[in-house]
Amino acid sequence: MPTVPSPSRRHLLVGSASVLAATAAPAWLTPALAQSALRPTPSQTEGPFYPVALPADNDFDLLRNGNATYGKGQPAWVEGVLTDTRGVPVSGAVVQIWQCDQAGHYHHPGDGGKADPAFQGFGQVTVGRDGRYRFRTLRPAPYSGRTPHIHVKVRLDGQDLLTTQLYVAGDPGNERDFLWRRLNAEGRAALTVPFVPGADGARATFPIVVQA
């Protein structure tokens, strides 16, 4: 006669089966659908102030340029994970950001070279196997005709994978900004993030998804 599991054992077996069922991939999730599970981050124009030549100091900390420390505006951390549309981290990719200083000036000859020399203005990091990136920078400030934003570019093996812009959630200038207004609701949600106050500066989490 077959052995009947005790009630406690039956519950354990049923619970284990439930966990396996919950963690197994649904039958309807074909490889094609799995690859489109994450939507690529919307692209936007590069703008006129991408560096003509990368500065000598181009690390993750935009609030230090050489030996100078930038003390204006509100410090902020911008961080996230870079993945493809399948959710796989894009190891070895380079994330770049650039933005104006608190007075609204870029380190660029097209802006008259008026940027504060203590503000690095541009930074880049290479992501590891976990896809994470992080920058210490300035909570974006407005400049003539634009709402506060940070320019973002992703490169891999010398090729551009994405160029876009990051906006501040709740900023009153967004509704007046011609580029922000062009985004649909989904695009605005992807590119507009809160800058949450913290002990060592505001924090903004910006996940980046590039086409697989």
Under DSSP, the state recorded for 158 is T
Start-to-end Cα distance in the chain? 56
Task: Give me the architecture of the 38-210 domain, per CATH.
Answer: Sandwich (2.60)
Contact present, 113 and 121 (Cβ < 8 Å) = no
The pLDDT, as a whole number, for residue 59 is: 98
The pLDDT, as a whole number, for residue 22 is: 36
State how far the alpha carbon of 79 is from the alpha carbons of 4, 76, 134, 189, in Å. 54, 10, 4, 17
The torsion region of residue 174 among left (phi > 0), alpha (psi -120 to 50) and beta comes to alpha
State how far the alpha carbon of 189 is from the alpha carbons of 83, 126, 209, in Å. 18, 26, 14
Model pLDDT for residues 158-187, shown as the tens digit of each residue: 999 999 999 999 999 999 999 999 999 999
The pLDDT, as a whole number, for residue 5 is: 46
Contact present, 108 and 51 (Cβ < 8 Å) = yes
Contact present, 155 and 93 (Cβ < 8 Å) = yes
- Sorted by where each begins, the domain ranges of the chain are 38-210
Model pLDDT for residues 69-113, shown as the tens digit of each residue: 999 999 999 999 999 999 999 999 999 999 999 999 999 999 998
Q: Over pLDDT 70: what percentage of the chain?
A: 83
Q: Is the pTM of this model over 0.85?
A: no
Contact present, 135 and 195 (Cβ < 8 Å) = no
Q: Is 1 exposed, middle or buried (0-12, 13-18, 19+ CB in 10 A)?
A: exposed
Model pLDDT for residues 26-48, shown as the tens digit of each residue: 333 344 444 458 999 999 999 99
pLDDT category at 200 given cuts 50, 70, 90 is very high
15 vs 175, more confident: 175
